[in-house]
Amino acid sequence: MSSEVMEKLGSNGVVKEHLQDFSIPSSYETAMEALSSLITSQKRGAKSSVGGTYRKLERMSEYLKILGLEEQIDGLKIIHVAGTKGKGSTCTFSEAILRECGFRTGLFTSPHLIDVRERFRIDGLEISEDKFLLYFWDCWNRLKKSELQEKVTEHLPMAPLFQFLTLLAFKIFISEKVDVAIIEVGLGGTNDSTNVIEKPVACGITSLGLDHTEILGDTLGKIASHKAGIFKPQIPSFTVPQLSEAMDVLLERAHELKVPLKVAAPLDNRKFDGLKLGLSGDHQFINAGLAVSLCKCWLQRTGNWEKLFQNDIQEADLPESFVRGLSTAHIPGRAQIVYDTYPESNNSFEVFENSCGDLTFYLDGAHSPESMEACAKWFSSAVKGNQISSSSSFKLKNLEGVWGNGHIRHGSGSMEESNKLIKQILLFNCMDVRHPHILLPRLVSTCASSEVDTLRDKGAKMDNAKILPHEFLYEDASRCSPADNYFACSAVMPSLPLTIKWLRDCVKQNPSLKVQVLVTGSLHLVGDVLKLLKR
């Protein structure tokens, strides 16, 4: 930790509330170092290493008291969303809809891709550095001061990272006087830090699947029970069509708490003049349908539906503001296309999202079998030209490949009217609690069924790669070019920077080559790639 951080924390643990003595850049860097000190080394699923006599949600309640937010949090008109897949998208749709309705919105999501401020959005924009620092140090001061008071130290330690970020979100939204706060659950539901919310306006549960099984359990029923933990007595709640094992548990929990639980139907764009969603992929119509139900409920329960629409809108119709929100919603790292072009007059790369280059990245943070399938469907559609500029439409054929945990295998490409040879590469990595042999088959089989990607080597294994010397790996990959007539390269790259360099070198050295890179398997991987592309 830097001397500046040590000076700020000091022996009394109190950080100066005013930032005049520090420039904004150094002060922000200092805040990031302080925030990093809250990261624990415990493995996911292990028993909490945080000491004290309070349980997790009891600690959250105590932290709220210290921050003076205990009563104010009840004044936030909250939409609370849990789920396995699509909760970030559902929250993003909900925020965009209500913002288009004229309300001041606050959105808390996780994880961030590049900058922690992405987690906190006011009116669709990430919070400014100035405001972030103001609220960050205010929360840090109060919690650190309380931790260092001897009479409570052994009972209430400093808040761990996600608890601190959740508290910071509440502080920001209360201070910024948002009309609505959309809060995404971090993990699970019952024991999640966000579940300190006692009086939400509406709750939503997105599609459920097997994920985080080391914490939530190894069956859909166990996972559904955790997700249903956000239900509050008599608070309207919504979910999407689920497998019966999950739905039965949700209905049972709803009955116990007298929760009016409704199933939101996927949005049918045929009923709304071919509505095009701001988030790509057919699965997003499921998330959009849930967001519409949540927003209608929020507007009705807060007395705003009749004020805005009077009797002009039927229940089954979509107001124009809803359509605008659904069509303009955006979330980085989910079904995102980035064109990385190399300017002739410059030695550095520039990133364009609305133009075409010879190196294109398709980024999606899918990390469960079901989301990998949805990612594959989106990618298959995108590379066929459905989401690419009309100036560069092309068909793909005879492309074969899979890259598992760094492995890349490729077949022959196709030469199109533009005289560009098109090759595809899968850049994949996943967290150690997930397994490539579970994630990758859904991706490969879905691509194959779309006639975009098939494995010629049916015996190819999709498993963790063995670690080899970095220099050997990079040199081996460097000898392999996608421009070869039959490109069959397998490489475990030692780092992302070297991977990006290799891809850029391939395109730079082969003017007749177009490379399409699917980046998936982890939001952390997607974030790191975006950071490198925009550097």
pTM: 0.81
Distance between CA atoms of residues 341 and 356, nearest Å = 8
Weakest mean pLDDT among 18-22, 76-80, 98-102, 380-384: 18-22
The response to whether 435 counts as a known ligand-binding position is no
Closest by Cα among 507, 335, 528, 499 to 420: 507
pLDDT in tens, 244-256: 999 999 999 999 9
State the Cα–Cα distance between residues 316 and 115, nearest whole angstrom: 39
Peptide linkage before 111 cis (omega within 30 of 0): yes
Residue 301 assigned ligand-binding role:
no
Residue-wise pLDDT tens digits, 177-212? 999 999 999 999 999 999 999 999 999 999 999 888
451-463 pLDDT per residue, tens: 665 444 444 454 4
Distance CA 204, CA 91 (A): 9
CA 514 to CA 450: how far, in whole Å? 20
C-alpha 266/C-alpha 446 separation (Å) is 21
Report the pLDDT value the prediction gives residue 162, as an integer from 0 to 100: 96
Average pLDDT over residues 401-430: 57
Least confident of 97-101, 221-225, 261-265, 471-475: 471-475
Question: Rounded mean pLDDT of 152-162?
Answer: 79
The mean per-residue pLDDT over the stretch 61-87 comes to: 96
Domains of the chain by residue range: 1-67+104-178, 73-84+183-304, 336-533
User: Per the annotation, does 371 bind a ligand?
Assistant: no
Phi/psi for 219 (5° steps) reads -130, 155
CATH 3.40.1190.10 fits 73-84+183-304, yes or no: yes
Has 104 been labeled as part of a binding site?
no
pLDDT (average), residues 151-156: 59
What element of type H or E holds 166?
Answer: helix 161-175
Does the annotation list 184 as a binding residue? Answer: yes
Strand order in the sheet with 180-184: 125-126, 120-122, 105-108, 180-184, 78-82, 202-205, 237-239, 261-263
Q: Check whether 387 has a pLDDT greater than 50.
A: no
pLDDT at 390 (0 to 100): 29
Mean pLDDT (the chain) is 80
Average pLDDT score over residue span 288-296: 98
**Residue range 476-487: mean pLDDT, rounded:** 53
